Amino acid sequence: MKEQVSRLREALSNDVLKSVYHRIARRYDFQHGLITAWTDQKARKMLINNAVTAGDHILDCGSGTGTTGIMAALKAGPDGSVTFFDLSDDMLRVAERKADREGLQGRISFQTGDMVRLSYDDDSFDVVLSTFSLCPLYDPHKGALELYRVTRPGGKIGIAHSTEPESKIVRWLADRVEDIAWHFPLLSMGCRSVSVKSALQKAGGKVVLSRNMGFPLWPFHVFIVQKPAI
């Protein structure tokens, strides 16, 4: 599948993003679902169903309020574990409350930090997930390569991120809407179209799933890359 390369908007700073997520943390799930016409959940389920197996040790990078990570923890079962990693303490607090309601205490850990500079060792996780968290990064390519670095040989990286509409007319309309939305960070959440699959392929990854889906004005690319086994 050919990747669409957008007019990349300048990323919001981490400080601005922290402020945005501080204010929207409790409504993030509803807001993101509404903007994507609730197709974000389909993307998450697709990645979990095709990347996660029982007993996996998983990193949910840019985990936000934990929707993807909780799904992954339930699929991995009692022998698995999930690390929730996010820039925002406020988003992680929401994630922790949701995980507690699912009875996942002891199988989930939480850490804040910058996705572009992960503190984990190489080859640390069986599966690394990033759903709608590369879109706001100031360096999406470097962030994606960090995901690849911390995935063990033979492991999988599952990603969903915003991409451009394939139709030129729809793309033009989406750009005009985003020109307005970009002035309101609480609405845009810093999300813009990115393109990172080719960077992971150049690093040696093999694409095992690739699909565009979502609302026509704001589609997203869903794909899984497998890191070669040694």
Tell me how many domains the chain contains. Answer: 1
pLDDT at 226 over 50: yes
Which pTM does this prediction carry?
0.93
DSSP-assigned letter for residue 131 = E
Q: Please state whether beta strands 108-112 and 206-215 pair in parallel, antiparallel, or not at all (unpaired).
A: unpaired
pLDDT at 2 over 60: no
Span 54-88, pLDDT tens digits = 999 999 999 999 999 999 999 999 999 999 999 99
- Residue 73 located in a structural domain: yes
CB 164 within 8 A of CB 4: yes
DSSP-assigned letter for residue 4 = P
Span 164-222, pLDDT tens digits = 888 899 988 888 888 888 889 999 999 999 999 999 999 999 999 999 998 888 899 99
User: pLDDT band at 230, cuts 50/70/90?
Assistant: confident
pLDDT at 1 over 50: no
Q: How far apart are CA 179 and CA 94, in angstroms?
A: 30
Q: What are phi and psi of 84, to 5 degrees?
A: -90, 120
- Residue 89 located in a structural domain: yes
- Residue 8 located in a structural domain: no
- Residue 172 located in a structural domain: yes
- Residue 44 located in a structural domain: yes
CATH of residue 89: 3.40.50.150
- Residue 169 located in a structural domain: yes
Quote the tokens at residue 207.
Answer: 């694409």
pLDDT at 132: 96
Calculate the alpha carbon distances from 214 to 34, 48, 134, 163, 218 in Å. 11, 17, 17, 10, 7
- Residue 199 located in a structural domain: yes
User: pLDDT band at 6, cuts 50/70/90?
Assistant: very low
> Most confidently modeled of 28-37, 122-131, 157-166?
122-131
- Residue 3 located in a structural domain: no
Domain span at residue 100? 14-226
pLDDT at 63: 98
- Helix, strand or coil, per DSSP, at residue 77: coil
Compute the mean pLDDT over every residue in the chain, rounded to the nearest whole number: 93
pLDDT at 7: 55
Please report the sign of the dihedral spanned by the C-alpha atoms of residue 6, residue 28, residue 181, residue 212: positive
Cross-strand partners of 82 = 58, 108
Calculate the alpha carbon distances from 114 to 22, 136, 204 in Å. 16, 12, 24
